[in-house]
């Protein structure tokens, strides 16, 4: 039975984190800015300027965002 409880806690934690990540993405600009360059929260590389022009509050580069959306079934 402990495995079931542990898995439920893990799932709840992942869902809560996904909801927080989503809320931050849609309401706030990226927080990690170094020398005018926005850093991806997924892979810590600079986010491409074309992506930022299209979505100024992007927190992830297009590759990491694609992975995140697939992970959460969007």
pLDDT tens digits, 24-34: 665 455 556 66
Q: What are phi and psi of 34, to 5 degrees?
A: -125, 120
Tell me, what DSSP letter sits at residue 60?
S
Average pLDDT over all residues of the chain: 80
Give the model's pLDDT for residue 47.
92
The HSE-up count of residue 57 (CA atoms within 13 Å, CB side) is 9
pLDDT tens digits, 41-63: 889 899 998 998 888 888 899 99
Give the model's pLDDT for residue 27.
47
Query: Which region holds residue 35: left if phi is over 0, alpha if psi is between -120 and 50, else beta?
Result: left
């Amino acid at each position: 039975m402990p495995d079931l409880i542990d898995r439920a806690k893990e799932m709840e934690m992942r869902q809560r984190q996904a909801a927080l990540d989503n809320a931050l993405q849609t309401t706030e600009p990226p927080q990690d800015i170094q020398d005018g360059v926005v850093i991806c929260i997924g892979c810590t590389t600079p986010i491409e300027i074309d992506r930022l022009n299209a979505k100024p509050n992007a927190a992830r580069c297009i590759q990491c965002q694609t992975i995140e959306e697939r992970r959460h079934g969007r």
